[in-house]
Structure 1
Amino acid sequence: MLKKYTVLFLTALMLLLFTAPAANAARLVRVPTAWVDEFETFLMWYAKEKKWDRDAGLDIEIQQYNSGAEILNAHSTGAWVYAGMGVVPSIIGNMRNNVIAIAIGVDEAAANGVVVHADSPIAAVKGWNKEYPNVLGSPDTVRGKTFVLTDISSAHYVLSTWLKVLGLQDSDISIRDMAQGLVVASLENHIGDGAALWAPQLYLALDKGGVLAADLKSCGKESYTYLVADKTYANANPEITAKFLTVYFRAVDDYLSKSPEVFLQDYRRFYLEWAGKDYDEDLLRRDIKNHQVLALAEQQNLFDETKGRSEVQKDIEAVAQFFGSLGRLSKDELSRINTSAYSSDKFIKLVPPNLKLKK
C-alpha cells in the first residue's frame, strides 16, 4: 500500500513540475516589439535576459529589423505593438501609421555622422561656417556630390542637417538609398563621395579610412531615439504599456547605477547573439560613450504636458518642420506639423518611481 501511494505521489509531483512552467507561460501577456541593432535595443535585450519582463507578467518578443522604415512597413501587419526607432521614422510613423512616442531611447547626437573619403576635397575644408568650427566641407566641395544612406532615418537627418550648415539642401546633391550594411561597403569601394551612417556602422566606416565630416552634435543638434507604441493598442492597454516601460526603465536604472565598462561583455554578447555581428571591444566602448541614457524622472519631465506641448513634442516638431522644408512631407502632413500629437505623457506617468509593478 505504501509503495502504491509513493508511486502516486511521485507521479503527481512530476506532473506538477512539467505543467507549472506551461501554466506560468500561459499567464504571461505576449508583447511583440520591433527594433534595430542599436543601443536602446541592448537595454531591452538586457532586461529580457534578466527576465524582468516576466516579473511584470509580460513575454516581450524582441524582433529584429534593418531600419525604422522597415519597422513601419511591418506595422500594418500587426507584427508589433511597441518599437524602438529614430526621430525621423517616429515622425513618419506618427503622420502615417498611428504611432506615438511614449519614452526616449537614448540621445544619439554623437552617434550619427557623415563620412567622406580621406582624399576628398570635402575633408580638406574645416570650419567654413564659423558657427560650426569642427564641421568639414563647403558649398563648392559638396555641391553635386553623391551620398549613400538609408532613407527616412537619423542618418538622413544628419546629412540634411550638415547640408544646411553649409548653406545647401538635399536637392544640391545626389542621394542613393540603401541598407546601412551596404552603405559601409559602398563607401569602402568608392561608390559615392560620402555616406551618412548611424552607429556602430559609423565606426566601421571610420575604421576603414573614412573621415568624419560632421555629426549631429558638431552641427548643434540633439537627436533622440524613441520608444513608440501603436496608439490604438496603447490606449486600449495602458497597464500593459506601463509595464512595458517599467521593464525598459529597470534596465536604464541598472545601467545608470554602474560603470559602463560593467556592461561591455553583455553588449558584445547582445550584438553577437541577437544581431549576429561580432564587434571588437574598442568599437563598442566608443558606441557606449556616444549614447546618453536618460533616467525616468528626467524623461517624465521632458514628456510632461501639464503646461502645454511638452519638450519632446517641441523637439520632434522641430525635426518635422526641418524635413517638411525639404519637401519630404505631403501637403496634408505639412498642415499637421504644428498640431500633431507626436508623443504622450500618459503612459510614462504610470511608471512607478521604484520601478515595481504588480503582475
Structure 2
Amino acid sequence: MNRFITKFIGICALFASFVCSSAELPKVKASFLLTHEGFLIWYAEKQGWDKKLGFDLDLTINSYNGLALMKQYRNDPNTWNITCTAHVPFIMGGKDVLVEVIALASDEAAATSVVALDNSDIFKTQGYDEYFPKVYGSPESIRGKTFAVKGVSSGIYTLGRWLEIFGLGLNDVKLVKFPDSNISDELKKNKYHGSALWSPDLYDALKLGYKEAVTAKQLGETIPRTIKVDENFGHANPELVAKFLAVFFKALQLQIDDVDSMVDDYQQFYKELAGKEYSKEVCLEDLNNHQVTALDTQIELFENKGHRRSWIQNLEKDLTSNTLIVLKSMDTNDIQISNRIKSQKYINGKYLKLAKKYFDML
C-alpha cells in the first residue's frame, strides 16, 4: 500500500510539474479559418512543434470568413495575436485593424471558383473571350441571374473579375449573402443559379449539382492568403512571432516535400472540426490546389531591392487597386476600407528572417 501511495504521489508531482512548466510557456493566440492554412497550423500544433520551440500555441479554428476576423479584432484587439485571411477582406474590411502582413500562407486561386447549376445556360458558351478559352459564360446567360456569396471576400472578387470578361459588373447580377449557417445546408434549401466559393465549401457545392464556370487561376488572378500579426504584439515579441512562423513553415514544407503523407490528416481535420468527410482524392486535389512557397523563397519575395518595392509589395498593390475597382459598386455596411492601403509599410519581412534559425531547429 505504501509503495502504491508513493508511486501515486510521484505521478501527481510529475503531472503538476508538467502543468506548471506548460503554464510558464509564453502564449501565442492564433485565430485561423477552417481552410487549408488552418489545417497547416493545426497539423503543426498536433506535432507539438510549438512546445519544442518553447511556446504555447493557443489555436482557434473558425468556420466564418476573413471579414468576420477583421470585425473581431476591431471589437477587441486582444482577441488574437496572429491570423490569416485573404487580401480582399483585409483591404475592404480592415479599417482600424493595426496588423502587419508577415508571410504568405498560400495562393488559392485554383481553389476559388464561380459555380453555376450544371444545367445552366452559362455552360452553353465557352471561350466567349479568346483570351480566356476555358471560361464559360456569355452576357445573355449571366445578366440578371442570382449568385450567393459569403460577403466581401475573394469569392466575390473572383465573381467580379469573371463578369468583366463579358462587359458586366456586380450590378448586372443579383447578389444574395449566405446566412451565417452551413453553406451546404443553405445550397440544399435554395437552388441559387450560381455562387462564388472557395474550398472546402466549393466541394460541397460541386456535390450538390453545381459546376465550375471559372476559377480565379483561369482568370490569371493570384489569391494570396497572408499571415498577419497584431502590430503591437509583433513589435513586443519578435522572437515569439518568428517561432510561430517556423512551426507553420515546417508543416508547409512537408506539403512541398511529401504532400501524400498529409492526406489522412487533412481528412481528419475536416471531419473533426467541420463534421465533413471528403475522399482522399478530393483532399489531395485541394492540397495541390493551394500553391505554397518555401520559407527561403519567401524571405527573398519580401526583400526590397534597393529603392524598389519587393515582390510581395507589388502583388498587394496591384491586388488592392483591382479590388477597389471591382468592388466599388457594392453597397454594404461590411465595407470598411483599411486606412493602411496608402502605404505598404504594413508589409514586414523581418519575422521571416528571424524564423529561419528556429525552422532549422525543427
Same fold, TM-score > 0.5, yes or no: yes
Distance in 2 (alpha carbons) for counterparts of 1:179 and 1:38: 19
Report the secondary structure of 1:235's partner residue.
helix
Q: Paired residue for 2:277?
A: 278
Distance in 1 (alpha carbons) for counterparts of 2:165 and 2:196: 15
Q: Paired residue for 1:230?
A: 230
Q: Paired residue for 1:319?
A: 319
The structural deviation recorded for 1:251 is: 1.1
The structural deviation recorded for 1:187 is: 4.1
Call closer, same or farther: CA 1:341–1:347 in 2, change over 3 Å: same
Q: Paired residue for 2:38?
A: 41
Aligned partner letter, 1:339 = S
Unmatched runs of 5 consecutive residues or more in structure 2 = none
The answer to whether the 8 A contact 1:187-1:194 is kept is no
Aligned partner letter, 1:40 = E
Aligned partner letter, 2:209 = G
Q: CA RMSD in A?
A: 2.8
Call closer, same or farther: CA 1:182–1:15 in 2, change over 3 Å: closer
The answer to whether the 8 A contact 1:313-1:342 is kept is no
1:193 is aligned to 2:197: no
Report the secondary structure of 1:100's partner residue.
strand
Residues 340-349 or 157-166, more deviating: 340-349
Distance in 2 (alpha carbons) for counterparts of 1:269 and 1:335: 39
Q: TM-score, normalised by structure 1?
A: 0.89
Aligned partner letter, 1:217 = K
Report the secondary structure of 1:57's partner residue.
coil
Residues 203-212 or 217-226, more deviating: 203-212
Q: Paired residue for 2:26?
A: 29
Distance in 2 (alpha carbons) for counterparts of 1:42 and 1:198: 15
The structural deviation recorded for 1:53 is: 0.6
Distance in 2 (alpha carbons) for counterparts of 1:211 and 1:12: 62
Residues 7-16 or 224-233, more deviating: 7-16
Structural mapping, 1:140-289, within 5 Å: 140-178=140-178, 182-258=182-258, 260-289=259-288
The structural deviation recorded for 1:181 is: 6.0
After superposition, give the CA deviation of every residue in 1:127-157 in whole Å (9 maximum; x if it has no partner).
1111111111122221222110101212112
Which of 58, 61, 84 matches 1:61? 58
Aligned partner letter, 1:67 = N
The answer to whether the 8 A contact 1:90-1:100 is kept is no
1:348 is aligned to 2:352: yes
Q: Tell me the number of residue pairs that the alignment of Structure 1 and Structure 2 aligns.
A: 354
The structural deviation recorded for 1:113 is: 0.2
The structural deviation recorded for 1:167 is: 2.0
The answer to whether the 8 A contact 1:90-1:99 is kept is no
Distance in 1 (alpha carbons) for counterparts of 2:360 and 2:274: 30
Unmatched runs of 5 consecutive residues or more in structure 1 = none
Report the secondary structure of 1:252's partner residue.
helix
Aligned partner letter, 2:154 = S
The answer to whether the 8 A contact 1:116-1:122 is kept is yes
The answer to whether the 8 A contact 1:35-1:64 is kept is yes
The structural deviation recorded for 1:188 is: 4.3
Aligned partner letter, 2:125 = V
Identical amino acids, percent of aligned pairs:
31
Aligned partner letter, 1:351 = A
Higher relative contact order (CA 8 A, sep 6+): 2
The answer to whether the 8 A contact 2:149-2:178 is kept is yes
Distance in 2 (alpha carbons) for counterparts of 1:37 and 1:293: 17
Call closer, same or farther: CA 1:94–1:100 in 2, change over 3 Å: farther
Distance in 2 (alpha carbons) for counterparts of 1:126 and 1:11: 72
Call closer, same or farther: CA 1:70–1:23 in 2, change over 3 Å: same
Call closer, same or farther: CA 1:213–1:26 in 2, change over 3 Å: same
Call closer, same or farther: CA 1:23–1:187 in 2, change over 3 Å: closer
Distance in 1 (alpha carbons) for counterparts of 2:338 and 2:49: 41
Aligned partner letter, 1:20 = S
Call closer, same or farther: CA 1:88–1:333 in 2, change over 3 Å: closer
The answer to whether the 8 A contact 1:243-1:357 is kept is no
Q: Paired residue for 2:134?
A: 134
Distance in 2 (alpha carbons) for counterparts of 1:332 and 1:199: 25
